[in-house]
Structure 1
Amino acid sequence: MVTHSFYARDNRVIRYAESLAARGDEVDVINLRARPDAPREERVNGVNVFCLRDRFSKHGESAGDYLRPILWFFLAASGWITRRYGRRRYDLFHIHNIPDFLVFTAWYPRLRGARILLDIHDIVPEFFASKFSVPLTSWRIRGLQLQERWSARFAHHVIIANHLWLDKYVRRSARADKCSVFINNVDARVFQLVPQPPTDGAPVILFPGGLQWHQGLDIGLRAFQKIASEFPRAEFHIYGDGNEKPQLIALAAELGLQNRVRFFEPRPIREIAAVMARADLGVVPKRADSFGNEAYSTKIMEFMALGVPVVVSRTKIDQYYFPEDVVRFFESGNPEAMATAMAAVLRDPRERAALTARAQAYAAQHSWDTRQADYLRLVDDLCDSKS
């Protein structure tokens, strides 16, 4: 597997890799190193993990700053794969975007018959347009759509992270019979309900994830300010990193919340699951007028599985997947509406209990256990097609 991310924090990659390793497959993952003290190589739950490049901080704000380390990773991964394939004949390469063109790191094994599975975590043209405020009519977006098509053609099969993106992807880049949808189904081994002690009147509101503009954390901060006086001991904890972090820290101070809002560094997936389990309320304030409108939020299902109520902005993707009675929706982009939703959940313990009970049942019906066999079958079919 190839991913320009941190394996220990990427639940989607972990699920695939550990599912394969658990049945006896040999799995190697090449990824980034998050800390100077992290090992270059290690074996984690049966998976061999190799860190090819370091990334101790987020990319810069310009498109060039963002692309440069990706290109260095591409070159390192391509060389590593080509050299290693001489002594370790991989049957399948599962390549995770961003970017799509990471599929070409496996050019040599593909020439020798290896199968290529491309996994679209995020649909790149729309992601780039949102991140760098580029019009969808720009020549740069057309270029990204072209690399999307080339990458899809190079792969033998494409996994796409949600059904809304499937329709878009099929229209412009690949045949429908070459694509499958695997959403970020929650891993019940990691996100399992553990009874927590009752809150002592100091509720913790939590957001774990990327700190980008489309995530709407500025909306979350403004909403929290509106309920701060009603819940004087409440705190807002934010775990993550991203290019909006300095602005969010400044906004918290501007709103007079510097002693009520706490920022934490990202954590490995099993550690963040324990943090989430102790929260009183999860929030997902994505903007509906941006990339976030169609980007599936893994954290929603994770909160649900842990028995934590979650307040969610009303976006196209989340309305597609989540019934009205398993989360508390609010109008996207509206701090007042978000504040009302947060306060309503925090005030009423009976409604909170009913909401989390329905949410847990929904999460159990859509856990990774329900899709794992489909993924393993897809891998086997691709490997069998070599002969």
Structure 2
Amino acid sequence: MNDRKASIAMVAYTNYATDPRVIREAEAMVSAGYPIDFYALKREGDPKVESINGVRVIHLNMKRYRGNSNVRYMLSYLEFLFRCLILFSVRPRRYKVIHVNNMPDFMIFVGFFPKIFGAKLVLDIHDPMPTTFESKFEEGKGWKYRLLLWQERLSASFANKVITVHQPMKDEILVAHGIPEQKITVIANFADEKKFPLRENYKPEGDKIKILFHGTIAERFGLQNVIKTLMQNKYRSRYTLKIIGEGDYSDSLKEFIAVNNAGDVVDFENRFYSVDKLSVIIGGFDVGLVSYILSSGTQHMLPLKMMEYISVGLPVLTIRNSPIGYYFTEEDCFYYDPEKPETLNHWFNAFIEDKDLLDHGRNHVLTIRNRFLWNNEKRKYITLLENLINNE
């Protein structure tokens, strides 16, 4: 029988209210009757402790580092780790399961003392650190890459279970990096249909087509290339591109928009919204944009924004990488090649010239939507943690 009083801790170097994956997982366990303590970063205005939909969120008194220094990234990660480690060492018997979200992988060691007293540890690998940092800092596969690969393997070996966000991540990255296949469970990064409900009345209205990109603002997303192509398109006055998010590339993106006189077409709102507000915003657009510059880091990213667009019922304009190609066929999305601007320009023309194209795209999204909803993964996740609680 399940011990419904078993307490679970979750840890992530993130701002809880704006991170949909960690919210889904925490609320899934609350719905199954478990008390959840979530240890996260603190934004301005956040209380030290608050309850959000049944999740007790503990905001540690530090903010997310935004910048281009890998050393400062690591120092910020280490500070967060040691703050959590101290808290967990005070009452090491408090939690039956500690679920740690990367990055970084070595955050799993916040559970060092609780594991001695019987706690089970879960490492949730959202992004593979070696390939992500290799791509971000363009340093190749030197000693820093090998060090990150070593800490990934060490962290995975210390965990009782490893979960990750999609099948190609497991098969092509984590297993190839030396993590045992049987230790890894895929809990796919699908959107919560309760938080991102279907927009019932989809119909592009007015003279302009409204495109949305939301999430982290980083150079790897290639927004500068999308904007450049859109500004060169003959129908640019018929489009509005809305960008919502924060990140290391925000200032550069603002400058790019200004230098290219793109302000009449591109609206950049440099902020994050809570998940509840974001779902309403998405429903007001005609097309969801999922852009990348293909690299070793982005080749294996399955962006949650894509699943949120599909959950709401938006057609998606996207590139093809390994996981996107794994889950979606040529008919499921409007694909373009990020290395061939003319393929993106083709869709900017087609959306205007073929009045029914977006409606057809929307209707097709409705036929595939049910395959990509969180409810499909929720039971798998609850079962995984319950088996750990019951030593199965």
Query: Smaller-chain TM-score range?
Result: over 0.9
**Residue 60 of structure 2 aligns with which residue?**
52
The structural deviation recorded for 1:279 is 1.1
CA distance in structure 2 between the partners assigned to 1:126 and 1:266 by the alignment: 26
CA distance in structure 2 between the partners assigned to 1:328 and 1:198 by the alignment: 16
The structural deviation recorded for 1:337 is 1.7
The structural deviation recorded for 1:84 is 4.0
Q: After the TM superposition, which residues 289-304 of structure 1 pair with which residues of structure 2 at under 5 Å, given as runs?
A: 289-304=295-310
Kindly indicate whether residue 155 of structure 2 is the aligned counterpart of residue 151 of structure 1: yes
Residue of 166, 171, 179 corresponding to 1:174 = 179
> Structure 1 pair 198/219, CA: closer, same or farther in 2 (3 Å)?
closer
The structural deviation recorded for 1:121 is 0.3
Q: Give secondary structure in 1 for the equivalent of 2:60.
A: strand
Structure 2 unaligned runs (5+)?
1-9
Q: Is the 2:12–2:39 Cα contact (8 Å) retained in structure 1?
A: yes
Q: Give secondary structure in 1 for the equivalent of 2:176.
A: helix
In structure 1, give the amino acid aligned to 2:288.
G
**Residue 12 of structure 1 aligns with which residue?**
21
Residue of 354, 378, 387 corresponding to 1:372 = 378
Q: Is the 1:125–1:144 Cα contact (8 Å) retained in structure 2?
A: yes
Q: Is the 1:314–1:330 Cα contact (8 Å) retained in structure 2?
A: yes
Residue of 131, 135, 146 corresponding to 2:140 = 135
% identity of equivalent residues: 28
The C-alpha deviation readout for 1:286-340, integer Å capped at 9, x for no partner, is 1223411111111112111212111001222211111111210011233332122
**Residue 66 of structure 1 aligns with which residue?**
73
The structural deviation recorded for 1:209 is 1.3
Structure 1 unaligned runs (5+)?
none
Q: Is the 2:106–2:152 Cα contact (8 Å) retained in structure 1?
A: yes
Q: Is the 1:30–1:50 Cα contact (8 Å) retained in structure 2?
A: yes
The C-alpha deviation readout for 1:9-61, integer Å capped at 9, x for no partner, is 11111111101101211011011122x21222110111101111332x65221
The C-alpha deviation readout for 1:113-137, integer Å capped at 9, x for no partner, is 000010000000000001111102x
Q: Give secondary structure in 1 for the equivalent of 2:229.
A: helix
Q: Is the 1:58–1:241 Cα contact (8 Å) retained in structure 2?
A: no
Could you tell which deviates more after superposition, 126-135 or 251-260? 251-260
**Residue 312 of structure 1 aligns with which residue?**
318
**Residue 209 of structure 1 aligns with which residue?**
215
Could you tell which deviates more after superposition, 97-106 or 230-239? 230-239
In structure 1, give the amino acid aligned to 2:119.
A
CA distance in structure 2 between the partners assigned to 1:106 and 1:346 by the alignment: 54
Number of aligned positions between the proteins = 380
**Residue 83 of structure 1 aligns with which residue?**
90
In structure 2, give the amino acid aligned to 1:159.
I
Cα RMSD between the aligned structures?
Answer: 1.7
Q: Give secondary structure in 2 for the equivalent of 1:53.
A: coil
Residue of 260, 278, 282 corresponding to 1:272 = 278
CA distance in structure 1 between the partners assigned to 2:189 and 2:304 by the alignment: 6
TM-score normalized by the length of structure 1: 0.94
Q: Is the 1:196–1:278 Cα contact (8 Å) retained in structure 2?
A: no
Residue of 11, 33, 58 corresponding to 1:2 = 11
TM-score normalized by the length of structure 2: 0.93
Q: Which has the higher contact order (CA 8 A, sep 6+)?
A: 2
In structure 1, give the amino acid aligned to 2:193.
A
In structure 2, give the amino acid aligned to 1:48.
R
